[in-house]
Amino acid sequence: MLQEIKTTVYAPLGVPSLETKPLGVKVGVNVGTAAARAGIIGNYATSEADRVIGLIDPIHGTIRSWDAAFQVHRLSLCHRLDYLAQIADPLLGGVQKAFAEVDRTLRRAEVHLFGVGP
């Protein structure tokens, strides 16, 4: 049998949409605090930034052609954190610092490869 509605909905208490939910939908309980979620997101942003930073120098060191290095840099490396930048609040602890470190590493690679000053 096809179930046409969700069985449980999760949202902060007091949200008007919970009061007008369809019949049969139960209200779930969110687990954790906002501070804990902020810490998790900050740690995830830092680990993703570290992963991207770990890719930049080896990739630029491997590619010998200036044109190929430019294409990899412009089309791939600069966009590795785009999705994370859309979902992570930059004001959460560690997020801005992690993104800034990736930017510094990319800029250092640009200076090294292309001779563009800082």
**pLDDT tens digit sequence for 64-73:** 777 887 788 7
How many C-beta atoms lie closer than 10 Å to residue 92's C-beta? 18
Structure tokens at 26: 């139960």
Give the whole-angstrom CA distance, residue 102 versus residue 46: 10
Taking alpha carbons only, the member of 68, 49, 47 closest to residue 59 is 68
Provide the residue type at 58 as one letter. Answer: P
What dihedral do alpha carbons 86, 88, 90, 91 form, nearest 10°? 140
**Residues 56-109: tens digit of each pLDDT:** 888 877 877 778 877 887 888 888 888 888 888 888 778 889 999 999 988 888
End-to-end CA distance of the chain: give it in Å, rounded.
Answer: 63
Of 7-11, 47-51, 109-113, which range is least confident? 7-11
Contact 46, 94 (CB under 8 A): yes
